[in-house]
C-alpha cells in the first residue's frame, strides 16, 4: 500500500485537479512513479485533510509542456509564497527573497498522469488539520518539497479513523485488488463551490459536532450554511456561517427557518408547524456561544427575507 498527500503550490504550474474525483501530477513530482492502481491515497485540500480513496485507474499523457517557476538565485523550483511579509517570495534552498516579477521561468517536457478514484472517494466528515501531529507522525518522509508523500499503513489507518466519523475500519482489506465492474453508474460532471469543504471543516473545528438549531448531532449530517447566500457573494464568510443538520440547512436556505437578530431566537414558518421536529424548536435560542454568532447585520437580511416567505407560505 502507498498513500499520498496532495499539496498545491501558490504559484507555478496549475494542475487540473478535482479533489473528490482525480489527482493530476507529472514525472517531475517526487514519488510520482510510486503511484499505482489499488493504492490508498489521503488527499489534502488547503489546510485540512479532504478525504481518502483507492486509485482505480491512471491515465498517461507523454510529451506535455510544463513551465516551472524558479528562484532567481539558485534556480530551484517553486519558491515559497508569504502572505504577510515582503518580498512575497522566499527560496527555502538558498534563502533568497524576491517579488513575483523576479521569478524565473523554465520549460520542461514531462509525462502527465491523472489518477482517478471517484468511485471509492470518502470525504472527511470531521476536521483534521494538516499540521496535526496525527498527520505528521504518519508521514514516512519529513520533506515538504514533494506533493506526493508516502504514509505508513498504520498512520493512514489512524487518519481515516479520525476523519471518517465512524468507529470502524475501512470497508476493505489493505492489499485488496481493485476491480472495475461495468454498469450501475454513469459518469457525470458535477459543480462544487470552491472552498466549501474547508468552510465546513472550519465550522466543525469552531463549533464542534453541534447543530446551531438542535444541538449535538452526528458529524455525517452536519453541513455548513451561509447566512448570506454564497451565490450572491461568492465568499465563504467564516463569521457568517452556521453549522446545521442537513434538513435544517435546506429549510434555512429556503427561508422557511431563520433567526431573529434581536432576540437570537429560532423562528419557523407557519407552514412547518404541523411537523413536531420543527415546531418544537420554534422560539428556542440559537445554540451558538455569543462570541461565535454571525454578525447581526448580515443575519438581519436573512430574517427580513424569511418573514416575506413566511407570509407567502402561510
Read off the pLDDT of residues 237-296 as tens digits, 9 standing for 90 and up: 556 789 999 999 999 998 999 999 999 999 999 999 899 999 999 999 999 999 888 888
Residue 257: strand pairing partners: 268
* Residue showing cell 463551490: 193
The answer to whether the beta carbons of residues 213 and 248 sit under 8 Å apart is yes
Nearest to 162 by CA among 187, 125, 117, 196: 125
Q: What 3-state DSSP class applies to 123? A: strand
* Residue showing cell 436573512: 302
Tell me what the pLDDT averaged over the chain comes to: 79
How many Å apart are CA 124 and CA 47, to the nearest integer?
13
Q: Is the pLDDT of residue 236 over 80?
A: no
The answer to whether the beta carbons of residues 16 and 113 sit under 8 Å apart is no
Q: Mean pLDDT across the stretch 160-177?
A: 57
Domain coordinates in residue numbering, the chain:
22-68+107-164, 196-313
The answer to whether the beta carbons of residues 159 and 135 sit under 8 Å apart is yes
Q: What are phi and psi of 20, to 5 degrees?
A: -90, 5
Q: What angle do CA 68, 74, 78 make, to 5 degrees?
A: 35
Eight-state DSSP code of residue 295: P
Q: What 3-state DSSP class applies to 38? A: coil
| Residue 8 CB-half CA count within 13 A | 16
pTM here is 0.56
Q: Is the pLDDT of residue 221 over 70?
A: yes
Amino acid at each position: 500500500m502507498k498513500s499520498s498527500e496532495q499539496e498545491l503550490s501558490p504559484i507555478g504550474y496549475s494542475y487540473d485537479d478535482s479533489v473528490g474525483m482525480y489527482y493530476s501530477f507529472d514525472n517531475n513530482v517526487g514519488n510520482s512513479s510510486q503511484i499505482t492502481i489499488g493504492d490508498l491515497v489521503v488527499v489534502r485540500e488547503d489546510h485540512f485533510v479532504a478525504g481518502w480513496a483507492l486509485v482505480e485507474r491512471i491515465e498517461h499523457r507523454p510529451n506535455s509542456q510544463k513551465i516551472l517557476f524558479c528562484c532567481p538565485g539558485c534556480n530551484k523550483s517553486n519558491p515559497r509564497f508569504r502572505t504577510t511579509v515582503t518580498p512575497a517570495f522566499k527560496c527555502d534552498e538558498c534563502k533568497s527573497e524576491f517579488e513575483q516579477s523576479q521569478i524565473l521561468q523554465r520549460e520542461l517536457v514531462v509525462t502527465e498522469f491523472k489518477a482517478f478514484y471517484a468511485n471509492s472517494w470518502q470525504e472527511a466528515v470531521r476536521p483534521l488539520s494538516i499540521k496535526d501531529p496525527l498527520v505528521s507522525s504518519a508521514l514516512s518522509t519529513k520533506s515538504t518539497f514533494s506533493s506526493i508523500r508516502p504514509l505508513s499503513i498504520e498512520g493512514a489507518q489512524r487518519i481515516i479513523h479520525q476523519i471518517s466519523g465512524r468507529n470502524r475500519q475501512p470497508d476493505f482489506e489493505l492489499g485488496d485488488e481493485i476491480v472495475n465492474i461495468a454498469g450501475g453508474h454513469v459518469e457525470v460532471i458535477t459543480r462544487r463551490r470552491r472552498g466549501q469543504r474547508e468552510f465546513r471543516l472550519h465550522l466543525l473545528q469552531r463549533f464542534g459536532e453541534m447543530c446551531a438549531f438542535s444541538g449535538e448531532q452526528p458529524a455525517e449530517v452536519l453541513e455548513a450554511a451561509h447566512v448570506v447566500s454564497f451565490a450572491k457573494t461568492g465568499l465563504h464568510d467564516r463569521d457568517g456561517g452556521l453549522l446545521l443538520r442537513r434538513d435544517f440547512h435546506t429549510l434555512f436556505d429556503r427561508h422557511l427557518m431563520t433567526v431573529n437578530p434581536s432576540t437570537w431566537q429560532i423562528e419557523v414558518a407557519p407552514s412547518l408547524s404541523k411537523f413536531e421536529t420543527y415546531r418544537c424548536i420554534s422560539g428556542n435560542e440559537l445554540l451558538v456561544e455569543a462570541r461565535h454568532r454571525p454578525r447581526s447585520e448580515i443575519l438581519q437580511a436573512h430574517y427580513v427575507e424569511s418573514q416575506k416567505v413566511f407570509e407567502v407560505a402561510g
